[in-house]
Amino acid sequence: MTEKERKASVIKAVKAAYPKAGCSLKHKSVWQLLCATILSAQCTDERVNLTTPNLFKSYPTPKDLGNAKQEDVEKLIRSCGFYKNKAKNIIAASKMIAETFRGRVPKTMEELTSLPGVARKTANVVLGTGYGINDGIVVDTHVSRLSNRLGLSKNTEPEKIEKDLIKIVPREEWTDFSHQLIAHGRAICQARAPKCAECPLKFLCHQKGA
């Protein structure tokens, strides 16, 4: 098996193992997804999901959150960590959505990354999960770790890993593949204690249990 064939087999195996994988951040709108994704930086999705119901109950629209007092928002999101900066960003981003984009989260990478607190990873989440637009591949800590372990990329920088994955994953599968890889990272290929004996990809793994 060539390296190209092995990588294709890894992608196929991940897809087969987690066919129903999806975004674990609970949301009822693209705007809620955007805010939740900003809050998820260096924080678990579980913690974010416990935090956002009260946040969105208090501020149900971008306009409401955009006009909020920072100290009030900080109290609601404190448990997510880095709450001062995150509060500042979700308020500023919501205000910009309400005023510049007429209440709708934009649909392009350029416009999304113009929002405070939104870099490429967050924009990819919004485009892929929120709008079904495969403009890129989300590279979080799970995707980064597994891309190296499974031999899909030798790079460590998220944007370089994304470029490597884009070359080998069919475009229509970009969003789903990220969800599937994240699901595998959480269930089996964990950072500190990967469950290699249980891994459905162990015969394709680049590092053979590393």
Stretch 53-74: mean pLDDT, rounded? Answer: 98
Catalytic residue (choose from 26, 63, 107, 140): 140
User: Cα-Cα-Cα-Cα dihedral of 196, 201, 203, 207, to 10°?
Assistant: -60
Query: Any idea which fold 3-22+137-198 has?
Result: Endonuclease Iii, domain 2 (1.10.1670)
Catalytic residue (choose from 7, 86, 121, 135): 121
Query: Residue 1's pLDDT is what?
Result: 83
130-183 pLDDT, tens per residue? 999 999 999 999 999 999 999 999 999 999 999 999 999 999 999 999 999 999
Query: Residue 169's pLDDT is what?
Result: 97
Structure tokens given for 18: 């987690």
H or E element at residue 14: helix 3-17
Type of residue found at 145: R
What are the Cα distances from residue 94, in Å, to 80, 113, 182? 18, 13, 28
**26 and 44 Cβ atoms separated by less than 8 Å:** no
| Res. 205 pLDDT band, cuts 50 70 90 | confident
Every domain range in the chain assigned CATH 1.10.1670.10: 3-22+137-198
Query: Residue 207's pLDDT is what?
Result: 64
Percent of the chain scoring above 70 in pLDDT: 98
Please tell me the number of Cα atoms within 13 Å of 39 on its side-chain side: 31
Every domain range in the chain assigned CATH 1.10.340.30: 30-131
Q: How far apart are CA 96 and CA 115, in angstroms?
A: 7
Q: How far apart are CA 24 and CA 20, in angstroms?
A: 12
H or E element at residue 66: helix 62-66
**CATH number for the domain formed by residue range(s) 30-131:** 1.10.340.30
DSSP state of 198: G
Nearest 5 degrees, angle CA 44-CA 47-CA 49?
Answer: 110
Q: How many CB atoms lie within 10 A of CB 100?
A: 12
- Predicted structure pTM score: 0.94
Burial of 109 (0-12, 13-18, 19+ CB in 10 A): middle
Closest Cα to residue 134, out of 124, 144, 122?
124
**190 and 145 Cβ atoms separated by less than 8 Å:** no
Does residue 15 have an active-site annotation? no
Does residue 140 have an active-site annotation? yes
